[in-house]
Amino acid sequence: KNQVEQSPQSLIILEGKNCTLQCNYTVSPFSNLRWYKQDTGRGPVSLTIMTFSENTKSNGRYTATLDADTKQSSLHITASQLSDSASYICVVSLYNNNDMRFGAGTRLTVKP
Amino acid sequence: DSGVTQTPKHLITATGQRVTLRCSPRSGDLSVYWYQQSLDQGLQFLIQYYNGEERAKGNILERFSAQQFPDLHSELNLSSLELGDSALYFCASSVGRGGTGELFFGEGSRLTVL
């Protein structure tokens, strides 16, 4: 069973609209959580990284939130652009051995 | 550009063959990670090296092996290839030995086994 679950699996939105992607994890003990953007056929690129004590972090139109108590994170994309079409991957690191657990990703399609 | 270089970008080979994928980490990064991504699948962790030594192992098949050389570049060897080994293979690097630092990915090597 994957310890990092992402939802939805895929999402289609219109250009200019906002959207929110979810990441729930059961990984423990928790060290940090990252969001990556992966364009089709390309390597993932880091968007945000949050530690236990942080509950929000922004990177331009991307804002990630973290609730370490409920083990949930979200990635909010504002005013979407066609170039936002990609897979968004949630990665959680364990505290004791720094192993990383990858979610399966959410595939976002932004249409004109 | 992440600074992580992977070669070759594309590789087509036949079942039963052996291939070697190469990764040069970012300057100063000591850790190298290998991941496999099959079509429409998530990233699967294969193996990590830190400063020349194996540090963590994921779901890596016995037919696969890797090493990190003194100059810190790494190679992933895939042998007795099967159709199911067709995938994108990503290398990533980080400064430290663990998962607390930033992870930088290469552009991947696309392996097609016919």
pLDDT cut 70: percent of chain B above it: 97
As a whole number, mean pLDDT of residues A1-12 equals: 89
Q: What is the pLDDT of residue A97?
A: 58
pLDDT cut 70: percent of chain A above it: 96
Choose the weakest-confidence range: A91-100, B33-42, B71-80, B104-113: A91-100
Q: Cα distance from A6 to chain B (closest Cα, Å)?
A: 11
- Please answer yes or no on whether A89 and B43 come within 8 Å at the CB atom: yes
- Please answer yes or no on whether B110 and A41 come within 8 Å at the CB atom: yes
Examine the pLDDT at A82 and tell me if it is beyond 80: yes
Q: Which of A1, A5, A98 to mutate to test the interface with B (most CBs of B within 10 A)?
A: A98
As a whole number, mean pLDDT of residues B3-11 equals: 96
- Which among A31, A42, A103 has the least Cβ separation from residue B100? A31
What token pair was written down for B3? 């600074």
Q: Cα distance from B17 to chain A (closest Cα, Å)?
A: 24
pLDDT digits (tens, 9 = 90+) for A19-29: 999 999 998 88
> Binning pLDDT at 50, 70 and 90, where does residue B99 land?
low
pLDDT digits (tens, 9 = 90+) for B29-79: 999 999 999 987 788 889 999 999 998 888 899 999 999 999 999 999 999
Query: Of B73, B103, B106, B93, which is closest to residue B31 (Cα–Cα)?
Result: B93
Q: What is the CA radius of gyration of chain B?
A: 13
- Identify residue B6 by its one-letter amino acid code: Q
Nearest 5°: the CA angle A23, B54, B22 is 85
3-state secondary structure chain A: CCCEEEECCEEEEECCCCEEEEEEECCCCEEEEEEEEECCCCCCEEEEEEECCCCEEEECCEEEEEECCCCEEEEEECCCCHHHCEEEEEEEEECCCCCEEECCCEEEEEEC
Q: What is the pLDDT of residue A1?
A: 57
> Binning pLDDT at 50, 70 and 90, where does residue A30 land?
confident
CB atoms within 10 A of CB B43: 26
B105, closest residue in chain A (CA to CA): A43
Of A14 and A101, the one with more pLDDT: A14
Q: Cα distance from B67 to chain A (closest Cα, Å)?
A: 19
Residues B89, B108: contact at Cβ < 8 Å?
Answer: yes
Interface of B with A (CB under 8 A): 2, 4, 41-45, 56, 88, 90, 92, 97-100, 102-108, 110
Q: Give the mean pLDDT of chain B.
A: 92
Choose the weakest-confidence range: A68-77, B72-81, B96-105: B96-105
Q: What is the pLDDT of residue A71?
A: 93
Residues A43, B107: contact at Cβ < 8 Å?
Answer: yes
Q: What is the pLDDT of residue A41?
A: 85
Examine the pLDDT at A98 and tell me if it is beyond 80: no
Contacts of B104 in chain A (CB under 8 A): 46
Q: If DSSP codes are grouped into helix, strand and coil, which group holds residue B85?
A: helix
> Binning pLDDT at 50, 70 and 90, where does residue A94 land?
confident
Which residues on neighbouring strands pair with residue B76, listed in sequence order?
B21, B66
